[in-house]
Structure 1
Amino acid sequence: MRSPTRTPDWLLERIALGELPPEELARARARLLEEPDGAARLAALEADSAATLARHPPHVLARQVATQARLVQARRERPARRFPLAAALVPAITAAALVVLVRPPGSAPPGPEVEETRVKGLAPRITVHRQRAGAAEALADGALAAPGDVVQLAYVAAGRAHGVIVSVDGRGTVTLHAPESGTGSVPLAPAGTHALPGAYALDDAPGFERFFLVTAEAPFALEEVLAAARSLAGHAEARTSPLPLPSRYMQASFTLEKSSP
């Protein structure tokens, strides 16, 4: 019979991935290692993850993802600013997702009701990598970027079930990144970091480009988010203010400051 204090599998995955705020990660890891089989469970998960990476080397994944991205690219309505996912960006983004998807044999994937028990401090967020000199460069919120830079967006849902990703720029333009089409939000993977299938080339809009991840527990209409983005894009506070949306939504943003061409 399992102890009621035994670390659940979904939290074990986040400890292995380091996908917790630093203080919470230290506490969770310490509790895990105090359990009779805690160290063995962590070692088994790390071994399984290493074996998965050995079976699926990053350069093979890069080719597979790039091929799929090219197929997606062919269906895009506005292909001029989109590019297939660069192979150099794949190891930095998808390898982490591989780790979180590997589970100890016999364990069940966490359902939505499990993910609702969120760790304090963990919230949905956007990450951005830039292709530079054949490598993936992780960018910080507020980083300086230039027209023509190719960036890869990824999201962490932190248990939220549905989402939309849009951006607004210094010219007041609204761009939809996910979903690629349709009228509603897209299902989100509840745990781990997940890259969008296509990279994005920054245009010459002045000032900034700001990406928004809007999430909710249930599916929602895309137009509500687009209308909020269009409303914000026309105001001077578009660089810093949240989207004007009801409180049932959670939103996170990531801003790139744009240098002159």
Structure 2
Amino acid sequence: MPHRTPDWLLERIALGELPPEELAAARARLATEPGGLERLAKLEADDGATLAKLPPSQVAAEVERRRRVVDASRSLSASTPPRRWLPAVALGLPVAVGLALLMFVSQRELPEEPRPQQAVLLETTRTKGLEPKLLIHRQTAGAPEPLVDSARVHAGDVLQLSYVSGGRPYGAVLSVDGRGSVTLHAPEPPTGPLELKGGTVPLPSAYALDDAPAFERFFFVTSDEPFDLNALMESARELAREPERARREPLPLPPSLSQTSLVLEKGPRT
């Protein structure tokens, strides 16, 4: 029988919650399985849609919780020698499983805060096939609607933005619109670049589109090193001064910064 990556391991691959060597090996095995990468893509899409359903207060609480787990993990890794990651069978129900379940069962009570010695390292590393990306869902009366590049939107639509870091440690999310305005969505407050987390991470606050014409283009900028957020915003303002360029051209950034973007076409409601 062909090898099939178990669901619990697939969740960790999607969340980036494996040490670098384990993550690279797990993704390589997944790529050789029939339908393996399709399973991963579906899980990531379902994860983003589920997170988009949560109220902003619960999303913010979960983001803060993950930050504390990562901080505890970093403290642990700095004070103890390296050791191999243990599978879920050996640990019972480790912290990583609790976080994955929380994203799929949003009404359950949050599990106990992990003790440092139990924390699973959440550091991520870029690997082949794992790239930074931005996810956008439109809130509707039913399930959140995932939006793709060039999707049609309207003034008043409420959007939930999420990112996948692809192993980059620093980043920022911003947008430019057809009126030439620039909006910084993360970090908040804008004191420096956002320290990115692993997995699919929703921004704490949803974003309501205003009546700016034509389009809204969202950028996710990432870097291996801290960068000047003010310089990034000035580059965005420079591009936004010419709306037609802002609609299709990349931000004028140094080679040390990478970017991905998604354009939403704005129009009247029918």
Write out per-residue CA displacement over residues 27-53 of structure 1, whole angstroms, 9 at most, x where no aligned residue. 6227689xxxxxxxxxxxxxxxxxxxx
**Alignment match, 1:13:** 12
Letter aligned with residue 226 of structure 1: M
**Separation (CA, whole Å) in 1 of partners of 2:254 and 2:13:** 30
Q: Take 1:175 and 1:206, find their aligned partners in 2: how far apart are those partners? A: 15
* Correspondence 1:257 to 2:265: yes
Contact 1:15 1:28 survives alignment (8 Å): no
Question: Are 2:211 and 1:204 aligned?
Answer: yes
- Residue 229 of structure 1: aligned partner: 236
Normalising by structure 1, we get a TM-score of 0.62
RMSD: 4.1
User: Which position in structure 1 is the counterpart of 2:104?
Assistant: 95
8 Å CA contact 2:171–2:220 kept in 1: the answer is: yes
Residue 29 of structure 1 is matched in structure 2 by 30
Structure 1 stretches of 4+ with a deviation exceeding 3 A read: 9-12, 24-27, 30-33, 60-64, 66-69, 93-98, 105-108
C-alpha distance in 1, partners of 2:206/2:236? 21
Aligned residues: 192
Using the aligned pairs only, state the percent identity.
43
8 Å Cα contact 2:59/2:202 also seen in 1: no
List runs of 5+ in structure 1 lacking aligned partners.
1-8, 18-23, 34-56, 70-90, 99-104
C-alpha distance in 2 between matches for 1:63 and 1:231: 32
Superposed CA deviations along residues 75-112 of structure 1, whole A, max 9, x for unmatched, are xxxxxxxxxxxxxxxx9x943999xxxxxx97841535
Residues 94, 195 of structure 1: 8 Å contact kept: no
| Partners of 2:120 and 2:61 in 1: CA distance | 28
What 5-or-longer segments of structure 2 have no aligned partner? 1-7, 17-24, 35-49, 63-99, 111-116
Q: Does 1:156 align with 2:155?
A: no
- How far apart in 2 are the matches of 1:245 and 1:125? 17
Length-normalised TM-score, structure 2: 0.60
Aligned to 1:195: 202
Answering whether residue 158 of structure 2 is matched by residue 140 of structure 1, we say no
Contact 1:94 1:193 in 2 (8 A): no
The amino acid of 2:251's aligned partner reads L
